[in-house]
Chains A and B, each alone.
Chain A
Amino acid sequence: MSKFLPPESFAATGAYDLLPFNFTRLEGDSYLATNMVGESLIVDRSTLDDLVNKRLAPSHPSYTDARAKHLIAEKGDKASAELLALKTRTRYQRLQNFTNLHMFVTTLRCDHSCQYCQVSRQSEDKGAFDMTLEMADKSLDMVFRSPSKAVKIEFQGGEPLLNFDLIRYIVSKAKVRAAAEGRDLEIVIATTLSLATTEILEYCRDNHILLSVSLDGPSDLHNKNRPRPGKDSYQRFVANLQAAREIVGYDRVSALMTTTLASLPRVREIVDEYVGLGFEGIFLRALSPYGFAVKTRVYAAYDTEQWLKFYKDGLQYIIELNQAGIPFREYYTTLILQKMFTCADPGFVDLMNPAGIGIAAVVFNYDGSVYASDESRMLAEMKDQTFRLGSVLENTYEEIFLNEKLLSTLEESFTLSAPMCSECAFEPFCGADPVFSHAVYGDVVGRKPASDFCKRNMAIFRHLIQLMREDREVEALFRRWSALC
């Protein structure tokens, strides 16, 4: 007798149970069905009806897919539920690590005066806008209370290089503590590069510090978006980018852009600028509805529809570049694709559930205040202290991270129970952004049908799915993007 069962033993019987899944209409008669971890299937309405009403025959082309994607499990099949549980565990594994990203606002001072910037001051007053050594020490104490084995410290501003002595101080202390506790430490400085000197860059090289730099596009656009004395922001950027790559390392420098009204008709030029300067991708970001961007009416200068057009045009151009043999990625798309094609969560704070505020990222502000996210401190600059969790000078770790506002916000915005999100097939690709909802609608859940966050992300999900359905080459390209780290 063979120790293996014959093939017939594994044949589909047609008797099945449903596993948890959601579905959402795409267009016309097409529906997207996704399980708890985002594995998906596109079916027509009658197939969906048959699937739910257990009339789908094993000979139907979608039957095998529905089994493989864990939308159904044959009677007696225990493996499907166990596999789904394993994948669910993988999806949420970041939760047990708690806070990973710790942002230190070393100063609010900045040499730029960008219209859209949420947080910067044109001031020489170090006492008023710089973090002190005592605040830095107490913030570090908080960082090393996190149970996460991997700790990331990101220096933000203002322009953090204006308080570089404090960066040196924090880096040296953090390295000692990380080594003593066996933690992996990653350090990033978010900078315009305008004030980067050889000495600073050599320090970054010697301490394995990554640089996240700002580039908004071609010279005239960048200088318009990012005014500074001398009107030479772009020229300084290009010169210092070259120096940074030579000294710190070519792959140790990444760039971020901000989309203003002036950027909208120029997405292809912006992408060309990134390609020309040797970057491997771009993050097409919309402005956040916070701080000076709202105060100076820059945020209202364009709406979601306009931004979506900008994004879609840019993505189309990037696809064309790839088809012409120039490898280049759009990073927001890549994050979503990772959620679509894998069970791993890339950990992007705006697309996490539970929301990433506090439990994935936290901000130690220049004045000792602790905020639940970068957006929370931007909101505070508009006199809205809703997401101020406390102060490193006055509060304990427990008081800050068990802050009632933080906990209730995480609970209320949880997408598996939030109205509309809980039944949305895009939910596994999406996330909760309660600070955005609070800033725009005044409550942390918001009205989903009218939400710009929802509108923007649903439009992107639909667009990506449509692109892949229309062109198998695009799907192959997107799968390659999602597989890259």
Chain B
Amino acid sequence: MLERVISFDPAAYSLETIQRAAYRYIDKFSIGFNVKEASIDCILQFDKEVDDLDGVIQDFRKEVLDQHLRARIAKETESIRHLILAHAFSRTGLV
């Protein structure tokens, strides 16, 4: 079983953001976390032979960045999202 450790700066990324990114790769590796003050260490254990291990890790890093951006959008639009849904269903009798 191949194992790699990669680290993220907790000042830049939350654990939840990294976990969300990791979920997308559960068909490629399992993951453990070691959360420290200065870093979040991710222990990646690849289930099977992966052709392009470095490519997968690079993709995972990009995904963390994407998740960070998604979290920003979700946080900023939370109230308008609820407002739109409430408005959309206001006359349906469903809510």
Which of B1-9, B21-29, B35-43 sits within the interface? Answer: B21-29
Cβ of A120 < 8 Å from any Cβ of B? Answer: no
CB pair A25–B62 under 8 Å, yes or no, is: yes
Asked whether B16 is an interface residue with its Cβ less than 8 Å from the other chain, the reply is no
Chain B contacts for A423, CB-based, 8 A: 20, 67, 70, 74
Q: Which A residues between 5 and 19 are near B, CB-CB below 8 angstroms? A: 17-19
Question: Is B85 located at the chain interface by the 8 A CB criterion?
Answer: yes
Question: Quick check: A23 and B88 within 8 Å, CB to CB?
Answer: no
Contact of B76 with A18 in the complex, beta carbons under 8 Å: yes
Interface string of A130-143 (1 = CB under 8 A from B): 00000000000000
> CB distance B25 to A449 under 8 Å?
yes
Of chain B, the residue at the smallest CB distance from A21 is B73
A88 interface hit (Cβ, 8 Å): yes
User: CB of A461 within 8 A of chain B?
Assistant: no
Q: Does A85 contact B (CB under 8 A)?
A: yes
Contacts of A476 in B (CB 8 A): none
| B25 smallest CB distance to A (angstroms) | 7
- A435-449 CB mask vs B (1 if < 8 Å, else 0) is 000000000000111
Contact B85 A88 (CB under 8 A): yes
Question: Which of A18, A95, A449 has a CB less than 8 Å from the CB of B77?
Answer: A18
Say yes or no: A23 contacts B23, CB within 8 Å.
Answer: no
On whether A82 and B70 interact (CB within 8 A), knowing A96-B92, A96-B93, A423-B20, the answer reads: no
Number of residues from A at the complex interface, CB < 8 A: 30
Q: Which of B22-72 contact A (CB under 8 A)?
A: 23-28, 62, 66-67, 69-70, 72
Main secondary structure of the interface of A (DSSP, over half): helix
Give A109 Cβ to nearest chain B Cβ, in Å: 41
Say how far B23's CB is from chain A's closest CB, in angstroms.
6
Q: Tell whether, in the assembled complex, residue B69 and residue A49 are in contact, meaning their CB atoms are under 8 Å apart.
A: yes
Q: Tell me whether A449 and B62 are in contact in the complex, defined as CB-CB below 8 angstroms, given that A17-B80, A81-B84, A96-B92 are known contacts.
A: no
- Whether A218 sits at the interface, judged by CB under 8 Å, is no
Q: Given A25-B62, A36-B84, A447-B26, are A92 and B89 neighbors across the interface (CB < 8 Å)?
A: yes
Q: A25 to B61, alpha carbons, bound, how many Å?
A: 13
Which A residues are CB-close (under 8 A) to B28? 449
Is A58's CB within 8 Å of the partner chain B? no
- B77 near A450 with CB under 8 A, answer no
For the complex, give the distance between the alpha carbons of A343 and B56 in Å: 36
- From B24, B80, B81, B94, A95 is in contact (CB under 8 Å) with B94
Task: State the Cβ distance, A341 to closest chain B Cβ, in Å.
Answer: 20
Any chain B CB within 8 A of the CB of A20?
yes
State in angstroms the CA–CA spacing of A423 and B66 once bound together: 10
In the assembly, what is the distance between CA of A164 and CA of B87, in Å?
Answer: 48
Interface residues on B, range: 20 to 34
Query: For residue A95, which residue of chain B has the nearest CB?
Result: B94
B12 at interface by CB-CB < 8 Å: no
Report the separation of the CA atoms of residues A21 and B70 in the bound assembly, to the nearest whole angstrom.
9
Let me know if B66 and A25 touch, CB within 8 A. yes
B11 within 8 A of A: no
Distance between Cα atoms of A243 and B25 in the complex (Å): 54
A84 contacts partner chain B, Cβ-Cβ < 8 Å: yes
Question: When each residue 9-51 of chain A gets 1 if its CB lies under 8 Å from chain B and 0 otherwise, what string results?
Answer: 0000000011111110100000000001000000000001100
Question: Which residue of chain B has its CB nearest to the CB of A93?
Answer: B92
Whether the Cβ atoms of A82 and B87 lie closer than 8 Å is yes
Query: Would A88 and B80 count as touching, CB distance under 8 A?
Result: no
**Bound CA span A92–B88, Å:** 9
For A85, the closest partner residue in chain B by CB is B87
Which residue in A52, A86, A96 is a CB contact (below 8 Å) of B73? A52
CA distance A133 to B3 in the complex (A): 64
Given the known A-B contacts A19-B77, A49-B69, A96-B93, are A88 and B84 also in contact in the complex, defined by CB atoms under 8 Å?
yes
Measured CB to CB, the closest approach of chain B to A329, in angstroms, equals 31
B88/A85 in contact, CB under 8 A: yes
Q: How long is the Cα–Cα vector from A449 to B92 in the complex, in angstroms? A: 35
Decide: B88 and A450 in contact? CB cutoff 8 A: no
Distance, CA A96 to CA B88, complexed state (A): 12
Chain B residues near A96: list those with CB within 8 A. Answer: 92-94
CB closest chain-A residue, reference B91: A89
State whether the Cβ of A227 lies closer than 8 Å to any Cβ in chain B.
Answer: no
Asked if A402 is at the interface of the complex by the 8 Å CB criterion, the answer is no
Tell me which of A36, A81, A93, A450 contacts B27 (CB under 8 A): A450
A19 to chain B, nearest CB (A): 6
Closest approach, in angstroms, between the C-beta of A344 and any C-beta of chain B? 14
Q: Does A420 contact B (CB under 8 A)?
A: yes
Residue pair A420, B69 in contact (C-beta under 8 Å): no
**Can you add 16 more A-B contacts, CB < 8 Å, to A18-B73, A19-B80, A81-B83?**
A18-B77, A20-B74, A20-B84, A22-B70, A23-B66, A25-B66, A49-B69, A52-B72, A81-B84, A82-B87, A84-B84, A85-B84, A85-B87, A92-B88, A423-B67, A449-B24
* Residues of B in contact with A (beta carbons under 8 Å apart): 20, 23-28, 62, 66-67, 69-70, 72-74, 76-77, 80-81, 83-85, 87-89, 91-94
7 A-B residue pairs with Cβ-Cβ distance under 8 Å, sorted by A, are A85-B87, A89-B87, A89-B91, A92-B89, A96-B94, A448-B24, A450-B27
Nearest 10 Cβ contacts at the A-B interface:
A85-B87, A88-B88, A89-B88, A20-B77, A450-B27, A449-B27, A20-B81, A85-B84, A96-B92, A85-B88
